Amino acid sequence: MAQLIRNPFNWILAVIYAVGLPLTIGRFIFGLGWATHSSYDYPWGLFLGWGLFVMVPLSASGFMLGTTVELFGRKDFKPIERLGLLNGLLGYFFAVVFLQVDLGQPWRLVYPMFVSLGPAAVLFLVAWHVATYLSVQIAELVPAASEFMGWIKPKKFIKSIVLGLTIAGIILSTLHQGALGALFTYAPGKVHPLWFSSAFQWFHFFCSSIFAGLSMLIVVSTLSKWFLKWRCDKTFLESLDRCTLGISKGASLALITYLVIKFIALAHDNNWGYLLTGWGQWYLFEITFGAIIPLALFTTAIRSNRAGLARLAAFFAVFGIALNRLNTALIAFNWNLYQEIPHWREAIIAIMVYATYIVVYRAVLYRLPILYTWKGDSK
């Protein structure tokens, strides 16, 4: 308890909950109209713009690390694999929490699964894949929990099917990360042409989720190193710099692919003219600070073997991906109508849900063998 009060971060959390909790309860009593600016023209606000479209790509680390370690057999990334998986699981779980805050009738969440099916819709795919993928991610983290609880059988079972789980993770991730982009292909005239390309939209979202997830993993591992050092074991701390640079290589490959595809999309739709407008400058700002600068930093870091620089790059890339998704979903959406600014209640509720994500994240890291290897593990 004394420790709880000593940590200044907990004070901030207390303030967030003191303000946010009544507002969140209010949203369910008075409705979305009270809490948000969701209008007829802008049906989606911060809850989905931030909670779904930003959080899901930042949580792609689960399938990326699973692929690296289990599928490509790169056991040298093992020390950071579980953090990657956890980052994925919690990110997805809280994306669903955000969705529940946003849905008009959240108690009908299972309707697309069991009650009334619309299988030709992109969102149907998102719903099913996120649900299935959540189960895959839980399964992938069963070993960590079973070590903590002292179970042996579940861990062995998961080990026997881990390749299947990993491949399922790749399939589901390819499709639902892409599907989040494809959702906007329903609004070809509403999203600004610089953020819209019906042919490439799904690939933009999928490809950028690769470096988004990897960069987020670098950010989280950095934060763990700073604030949770006592919980990390020697293996984690000693291999972190090497792992960070290894992950940076993956991230920079995805970044360069992303930039090339962005470039091709510009040429394919012949959108060069828009670059000279105000929207074009905003677009170039996003590309420069969110993709080109992180790419330059990542490659410099890899060449000069400086993990610190790679961490800086990761912060830029995470910022870039957040900006890109918010641009597509909110800022450049309805660009020829008017600009919608989220309601203050909406912003505070979003901050509170995100704070809950951080609290749960921290609580799991404190306890489960994520940052450290379980000592009493006897095969």
Partner 1 sequence: MNRRNFIKGSLAGGLAVAATAKTEKADAAAGTFGGYADSMGVLVDLTKCVGCRTCEAACNKEQGLPEPDKPFDDYSVFDEHRHGGLPRRTTEKEYTIVNRYEVEGREKPLYRKFQCNHCNEPACLTSCFVNAYTKTPEGAVIYNPKVCVGCRTCMIACPFYVPTYSYSSAINPVVKKCIMCYDTRLKFGRPPACVEACPQGVMTFGKRKDLISLAHKMIDAKPGKYVNHVYGETEVGGTSWMYLSDVPFEEIGFNTHLGPQPIINYVKDFLAIVPMVLTIWPALFTGFHLLATRKQANKDESNKA
Q: Which of residues 55-94 bind partner 1 (CB under 8 A)?
A: 67, 71-73
Q: Which one among 123, 145, 223, 264 touches partner 1, defined by CB under 8 A? A: 123
For the chain, the residue count is 379
Whether the Cβ atoms of residue 191 and residue 184 lie closer than 8 Å to each other: yes
Q: Which of residues 194-213 bind partner 1 (CB under 8 A)?
A: 198-199, 201-202
Nearer to partner 1, 184 or 361 (CB): 184
What gap in Å lies between CA 317 and CA 212, rounded to an integer? 7
Residue 214 tokens read as: 């990897």
22 interacts with partner 1 by CB under 8 A? no
Concatenate the DSSP letters of all residues of 196-259 into one string: --TTTHHHHHHHHHHHHHHHHHHHHHHHHHHH-GGGS-HHHHHHHHHHHHHHHHHHHHHHHHHH
Q: Residue 143: name the closest of 60, 56, 78, 227 by CA.
A: 78
Residue 76 tokens read as: 């040298």
327 interacts with partner 1 by CB under 8 A? no
Residue 165 tokens read as: 């789980």
What gap in Å lies between CA 210 and CA 317, rounded to an integer? 11
Applying CB under 8 A, what is the total number of residues that bind partner 1?
A: 66
Partner residues linked to 235 by β-bridges: none
What gap in Å lies between CA 65 and CA 62, rounded to an integer? 6
Whether the Cβ atoms of residue 142 and residue 46 lie closer than 8 Å to each other: no
Residue found by looking up tokens 């930039």 in the block: 259
Kind plus residue range of the DSSP H or E element containing 164: helix 162-182
Scanning 238-246, 285-293, 336-344, 359-367 for contacts with partner 1 by CB under 8 A, the matching segment is 336-344
Nearer to partner 1, 173 or 252 (CB): 173
278 interacts with partner 1 by CB under 8 A? no
Q: Which of residues 29-58 bind partner 1 (CB under 8 A)?
A: 29-34, 36, 38-41, 43-44
181 interacts with partner 1 by CB under 8 A? yes
277 interacts with partner 1 by CB under 8 A? no
What gap in Å lies between CA 194 and CA 262, rounded to an integer? 9
Nearer to partner 1, 184 or 258 (CB): 184
2 interacts with partner 1 by CB under 8 A? no
Residue found by looking up tokens 């600004």 in the block: 192
Nearer to partner 1, 36 or 146 (CB): 36
Nearer to partner 1, 209 or 299 (CB): 209
117 interacts with partner 1 by CB under 8 A? yes
> Position 356: which residue type?
T
270 interacts with partner 1 by CB under 8 A? no
- Contact map string, positions 282 to 321, toward partner 1, x by CB under 8 A: ----------------------------------------
Nearer to partner 1, 8 or 73 (CB): 73
Q: How many helices (H) and strands (E) would you count in the chain?
A: 16, 0
190 interacts with partner 1 by CB under 8 A? yes
189 interacts with partner 1 by CB under 8 A? yes
Q: Which one among 66, 84, 112, 342 touches partner 1, defined by CB under 8 A? A: 112
What gap in Å lies between CA 335 and CA 349, rounded to an integer? 26
What gap in Å lies between CA 207 and CA 212, rounded to an integer? 9
Partner residues linked to 333 by β-bridges: 191
Nearer to partner 1, 93 or 333 (CB): 333
Q: Which one among 121, 142, 237, 253 touches partner 1, defined by CB under 8 A? A: 121
What gap in Å lies between CA 224 and CA 230, rounded to an integer? 9
120 interacts with partner 1 by CB under 8 A? yes
Q: Which one among 163, 260, 267, 284 touches partner 1, defined by CB under 8 A? A: 163
**CB 135, min distance to partner 1, A:** 15
113 DSSP assignment: I
Q: Residue numbers of the site for partner 1 (CB under 8 A)?
A: 28-34, 36, 38-41, 43-44, 67, 71-73, 103-106, 108-109, 111-112, 115-127, 163, 166-167, 170-171, 174-175, 178-179, 181-190, 198-199, 201-202, 337-340
